[in-house]
Amino acid sequence: MKPKILLIYTGGTIGMMKDPETKALRAFDFSKLLVHIPEIKQLDCEIATYSFDNPMDSSDMNLKEWRKLGDVINENYDDYEGFVVLHGSDTMSYTGSTLSFMFENLTKPIILTGSQLPIGDLRTDAKENLITSLQLAIQSKEGTPIIKEVCIYFEYQLYRANRTAKMNAERFEAFSSPNYPPLAISGVHLNIDQNLLWKGPVNDPAFAKAEQQKSSISNTNQMRYRPQLIDNVLVLKLFPGITKEVVRAICTISGLKGIILETYGSGNAPTKKWFVNTLKEALENNIRIVNVTQCIGGAVAMGKYETSIQLKKIGLVSGADITTEAAIAKMMYLLQHTDSVASFRTYFETSLRGEITEESLNEKDCQ
């Protein structure tokens, strides 16, 4: 039997057209999308489609929409061999990262793709992105999918979704995976590097917590859907001249649960007493703070320089080489599924879905 793929349309440039009056791009009927790509009929698979009732620009993505997308995949999980999600590129890395944590122990591919130009444009990149994403989703060995994780395919490269960031708003090569190689490269041949694919599973905090509560779950290799997330988090990006008033106002927001602190270089930050004390007070108020680098590539190594020693001493969690997009998703996930500072740190500094390179957790070398 031919493999079955569910093609899910959330919105984005790939399915947009220009408004004749304003010239702005807006979403159009998903049914018209496939009319522009008759080549899909040549693929050796059966394709079913699902469209959001109100296709959206990815700038409007939020927890509610992530839950809607996750529910569609979960409800159809047993009926399809893979899933391809058409999504706007602006927040695709956030959505891909979030889905990677929502689905524990994936046994099938979830591939997000989109385009920089609308499907009807003469020079569109949409056709290649969509066709190759479908081809990747049906790759199997002895009846088992080869790819078993959440990915992004864009401009001839397949990436682990929680390793990506959108790097360019104009070029077709919109995405980058600065700290992890592409999982596959599309050329004359479709080359998948199976050594780079996520193997899993690992001891996930949600599973461990369920076991402690005497859950009926017994199969550690079973896919589990974890849509619950806590969104009382924010990103605080440092810059020269940031003031005490700004940092304090942010760290004392009512109901705040977590901060992704974007620091300089390998995790460096101001050494002023007011700055360190403000972060320390936030930690004492049970706010989790994770240190990630503003740099495109590389990792946090607190203690490597004097300007990060204090952050390590007061108890910031190292984000190692995680992207900001994945750090946000992971924090939302762990705030829901851990119940102590120690367990949050342990799981954040563990690669749960291949989102960090464990070798980059080198703080011990900087003591």
Chain position carrying tokens 């591919």:
109
- 115, 14 in Cβ contact below 8 A? yes
- 98, 164 in Cβ contact below 8 A? no
Q: Rounded to the nearest 5 degrees, what angle is found at the Cα of 258, between the Cα atoms of 326 and 200?
A: 35
Q: What is the DSSP string of 181-220?
A: --SEEESSSEEE-TTTS-------HHHHHHHHTT-S---T
State the pairing for strand pair 317-318/288-293. Answer: parallel
Neighbour order of strands in the sheet with 4-9: 46-51, 4-9, 82-86, 110-113, 150-154, 157-160, 184-186, 190-192
- Would you call 252 a catalytic residue per the annotation? no
Rounded to a whole number of angstroms, the distance between the first and last alpha carbons of the chain is: 58
Q: Write down the catalytic residue from 13, 263, 278, 323.
A: 13
Residues catalogued as catalytic: 13
